[in-house]
Amino acid sequence: MPELPDITVYLEALEQRILNQTLENVRIASPFLLRTATPPLANAFGQKVLRLRRLGKRICIGLENDLWLVLHLMIAGRLHWKPRNVKVSPPRGLAAFDFPNGALLWTEAGSKKRASLHVVQGEAGLATLDPGGLEVLDATLEQFSARLTAANHTLKRALTDPRLFSGIGNAYSDEILWEAQLGPLALTQKLSTAEVTCLFEAIRQSLTNWTARLRAEAAGKFPEKVTAFREGMAVHGRYKFPCPRCGNPIQRIRYADNETNYCPTCQTNGKLLADRGLSRLLGADWPRTLAELELLTQK
């Protein structure tokens, strides 16, 4: 799912292309995309784009008459800038937003259609879609600490909960925890003051650095290579690759359609975290350290 760095670069690209442009039409090809009926989508036609903003992991397009189009790309949704009259081809094609200077094409890979478009009125309408997560880049250490420790969750869950923190998902949470040298299953209320400070700084550094890197990669063009797996990531999507810090192999915890990647040496004092599927299969034989894992895989 595109996260804060990706959404930020998307918004910067959109500002160059659709700000002060008139939205002529929205052609929707997927019946599952539009999630609101009031105000009607047709109210947006002929309205000029006055502002753009991020709301968590959503892209918000502000039009005249205080109307907002709110795009949630979810896991597989992507945006593309195309010439006028671009064809919207199902099943990947979801919609096209037509402007005088081009079209914003919205696609979604896979069969699970999770992306959503909401049409809302004013700040009150936007507030109904805001999960309330703290913007860490705008927060103080004290605000971050209070939010982090308000309940006792694992770090992975806390960082990716949009009600707690805004714009952080599966990919960048892995990178942040590696940067902070903290395990994904460490409990928020068990962290020391120094560890909370380190995590706060790691979030700010990781999100800022990756935003700058993606901005440089786009180089003024519309970002087309938006992915959760990027060259240069330390741990996310790097299972069995060497850790950039210590050289030992990256490990993972798999659950549902996601996985968490981490370095046991740098983040969990050498302890292997139980993979839900494999640990159930192996039971007491589940390896607890990298050395035990190596012995197991050599048999």
Q: What is the mean pLDDT of the chain?
A: 91
For residue 11, with 0-12 CB atoms within 10 Å meaning exposed, 13-18 middle and 19 or more buried, which class applies?
middle
pLDDT, one tens digit per residue, over 190-207 is: 999 999 999 999 999 999
* Model confidence at 258: pLDDT above 90: no
pLDDT value for 289: 54
For the ranges 1-10, 146-155, 254-263, 278-287, the lowest mean pLDDT is seen at 278-287
pTM of structure: 0.90
pLDDT value for 282: 39
Domain residue ranges in the chain: 4-127, 136-298
Q: Can you give the C-alpha Rg of the chain in angstroms?
A: 21
Return the percentage of the chain with pLDDT > 90, whole number.
84
Specify the long-range contacts of residues 285-294, CB closer than 8 Å, at least 24 apart.
Answer: 289/264, 290/248, 290/249, 290/251, 290/264, 290/265, 293/251
pLDDT, one tens digit per residue, over 60-102 is: 999 999 999 999 999 999 999 999 999 999 999 999 999 999 9
* Model confidence at 298: pLDDT above 60: no
Segment 112-137 shows an average pLDDT of 96
Return the percentage of the chain with pLDDT > 70, whole number.
91
Contact in structure between 1 and 75 (CB atoms under 8 Å): yes
Segment 184-193 shows an average pLDDT of 96
Its CATH class, for the domain covering 136-298, is: mainly alpha
Contact in structure between 56 and 72 (CB atoms under 8 Å): no
- Domain at 4-127, CATH homologous superfamily: MutM-like, N-terminal (3.20.190.10)
Contacts of 192 (CB under 8 A, 6+ apart): none
Q: Where are the alpha helices (DSSP H) in 181-272?
A: 193-218, 264-267
